[in-house]
Amino acid sequence: MCGVVGAIAARNIVPLLIDGLRRLEYRGYDSAGIAVLTEQGIERVRRVGRVAEMQAAAEAVELAAGLGIGHTRWATHGGVTEPNAHPHISRDQIAVVHNGIIENHEAQRERLLALGYEFTSQTDTEVIAHLIHYYYQSTADLFEATRLAVRELSGAYAICVMALDRPEELACARMGCPLLIGLGEGENFIASDVSAVLSATRRVMFLEEGDVARVSRQTVQVIDGQDQPCERPVLLSDVSLASLELGPYSHFMQKEIHEQPKALSDTLEQILEQGFTPDLFGEQAASRFNEVTGLLILACGTSYYAGLTAKYWIEGIAGLPCHVEIASEYRYRDAWADPNYLVVTLSQSGETLDTAEALKRAKELGHKTTLSICNVMGSAIPRASDLVFYTRAGAEIGVASTKAFTTQLLALFTLAVTLAKQRQRLDEATETSYLDALRHLPGSVQHALNLEPQITLWAEQFAKRHHALFLGRGVHYPIALEGALKLKEITYIHAEAYPAGELKHGPLALVDEDMPVVVIAPNDSLLEKVKSNMQEVRARGGELFVFADLDSHFHDSEGVHVIRTPRHVGVLSPVVHAIPVQLLAYHAALARGTDVDKPRNLAKSVTVE
């Protein structure tokens, strides 16, 4: 999705803006641009395509300035063209970059056309530039003009604004899209994502809904949605620069798959230190959990599949009913609500719009307590929640989520066991065995990673296929779903997942010798059932690719290929079996030559509907 940057400094900020935009590339975009203030006026460079192309164009004209704004655009209103790329400029005086969607842009456009403004793009953003320009005429104050303009907008925005005759300040505002200010020494920055400011500063101030800010080199002044002056806390970001670099890897997805033992160990640290205590989820968790009669999990994409896995743990271990729903569906329906159901939102980024809106909806419907499991400190969803558990996966850059997924699973398992303990459903021996299982998890995941050479050979065969079917049962069914999603996302091979028992109710009709069927078949209580489902596939000529563990006692035979993890890890088996399906998708994508980290049409953080 789009990315916003802004900078004001005593030094040349052009390289800073470009570096910031490079670090936002992972979010997905199709054009990029910057506007800076020079002696010639507001100078702008925009290009369709990669930031590198825009950078080359900026360097060719030796662009240098102490103040400027920049943007990576993921097209929503209007095609992928240079005139639609940001920044948008009004009458050579006001330049704006914008994330989000302005819902009343058509009405504003009519009004501004009547006032004599000319439009040069098809974007909703251009109305913001003209509207700020309009108010700037009467106020001669960039901050005030921005405030007046945004109060007339409906929809979502994070904007950064500069003016021709204001070399000493920028203005910015947010509603429904994240925006933060990076605080340097005698220089300040604005960005939609902390990764864009990290090379300059770690001190960040997250703006809240409705905030408008004036940012100079030395000061930051903020007013809230009621136009009252306010102070926002300054946090020290824990995102490391190393997590934003590829290092020895070819792709971020590859790096992040291999980082999983560490991501899990880091997330485990606090759990192993404190045990299964509600404090892991926040100070008030103990009393809040006492009132919980069930759980409602809301999420999108891969996070949703983590939620589906958790349902088995929550109901099986904690003995509580658990509903899991796709956030974009939940937010628009008249859902039944029990105030004592704990609402758990799962989000790697903490800024997925549908999940944030679903959370809002759950509160409106009367749910008393909300818990966010999130990977990005201080992001919107945890800030809007009563309780928080931060996974410690480190920055996840690849669009296809990997280490965020397995650390979410870890957090959710911990939640299930913690609720079980609080409800006195956990004897000491079981608690110890769960702690042991957690302790061994990073090692088991490493074993699964060691299967990479065998999985690569399978992947080369998959790369030539047009379709694939994934099967699993019980707690491994969501892993089959996740495997199919990974394959779709980065190889563009059509893949579907089914609970293996459902095969004969439809999908079996798809099975023939051209349909590879991946089966997640560890040695759990459903193994015998899965085996008969596999027979159904073989009998129709389908080729089976089975991920099992040593205890499943599967062997290669005609039409049946088996890769085995060393041993069955019990209740945490879904976490371990997530690894081979990630590797399969990654290597199939390599064999097909697709853009692994930036798959077509997709974005990392989906901040629009």
Query: Looking at the annotation, which residues are catalytic?
Result: 2, 604
The window from 90-98, 298-306, 452-460, 546-554 that contacts ligand G6P (CB under 6 A) reads 298-306
Residue recorded with tokens 């000529």: 541
Considering the complex, what minimum distance in angstroms separates the CB of residue 305 from ligand G6P?
A: 8
581 binds ligand G6P (CB under 6 A): no
- Closer of 166 and 598 to ligand G6P (Cβ): 598
**How would you list the strands of the sheet with 387-390, edge to edge?**
322-326, 294-299, 341-347, 370-374, 387-390
Q: How many residues bind ligand G6P (CB under 6 A)?
A: 16
Exposure b/e, 229-267, CB count within 10 A at least 16 = b: eeebeeeebebeeebbeeeeeebbbbbbbbbbbbbbbbb
As to burial, measured by CB atoms within 10 angstroms (0-12 exposed, 13-18 middle, 19+ buried), residue 432 is: exposed
349 binds ligand G6P (CB under 6 A): yes
Residue in the shown chain whose Cβ atom is closest to ligand G6P: 301
- The amino acid present at 161, given as its one-letter code, is V
Considering the complex, what minimum distance in angstroms separates the CB of residue 356 from ligand G6P?
A: 9
Considering the complex, what minimum distance in angstroms separates the CB of residue 54 from ligand G6P?
A: 24
- The amino acid present at 436, given as its one-letter code, is D
C-alpha distances in angstroms, 206 versus 69, 173, 191, 221, 387?
Answer: 18, 11, 10, 13, 18
606 binds ligand G6P (CB under 6 A): yes
The window from 220-228, 349-357, 490-498, 547-555 that contacts ligand G6P (CB under 6 A) reads 349-357
604 binds ligand G6P (CB under 6 A): yes
Considering the complex, what minimum distance in angstroms separates the CB of residue 382 from ligand G6P?
A: 12
Rounded to the nearest 10 degrees, the angle between the axes of helix 14-24 and helix 51-60 is 170
- Closer of 180 and 300 to ligand G6P (Cβ): 300
Considering the complex, what minimum distance in angstroms separates the CB of residue 50 from ligand G6P?
A: 19
The answer to whether 450 and 548 are in contact (CB under 8 A) is: no
Checking DSSP bridges between strand 94-99 and strand 157-163, what pairing results, if any? Answer: antiparallel
347 binds ligand G6P (CB under 6 A): yes
- Closer of 404 and 515 to ligand G6P (Cβ): 404
93 binds ligand G6P (CB under 6 A): no
The window from 144-152, 188-196, 208-216, 345-353 that contacts ligand G6P (CB under 6 A) reads 345-353
The answer to whether 263 and 436 are in contact (CB under 8 A) is: no
Considering the complex, what minimum distance in angstroms separates the CB of residue 27 from ligand G6P?
A: 9
Considering the complex, what minimum distance in angstroms separates the CB of residue 599 from ligand G6P?
A: 8
Backbone angles phi, psi at 78, to 5 degrees: 95, 150
Give the x/- contact pattern for ligand G6P in 401-420, rule: CB under 6 A.
x-------------------
The answer to whether 474 and 525 are in contact (CB under 8 A) is: yes
352 binds ligand G6P (CB under 6 A): yes
All residues at 6 or more sequence positions from 94 whose CB lies less than 8 Å from its CB, including other chains: 129, 132, 133, 136, 145, 161, 162, 163, 164
Q: What is the Cα 75 distance to its own chain's centre? A: 18
108 binds ligand G6P (CB under 6 A): no
- Closer of 414 and 582 to ligand G6P (Cβ): 582
370 binds ligand G6P (CB under 6 A): no
Q: Restricting to residues 300-319, which ones interact with ligand G6P according to CB under 6 A? A: 300-303
Binding region for ligand G6P (CB under 6 A): 300-303, 347-349, 352, 355, 399-401, 602, 604-606
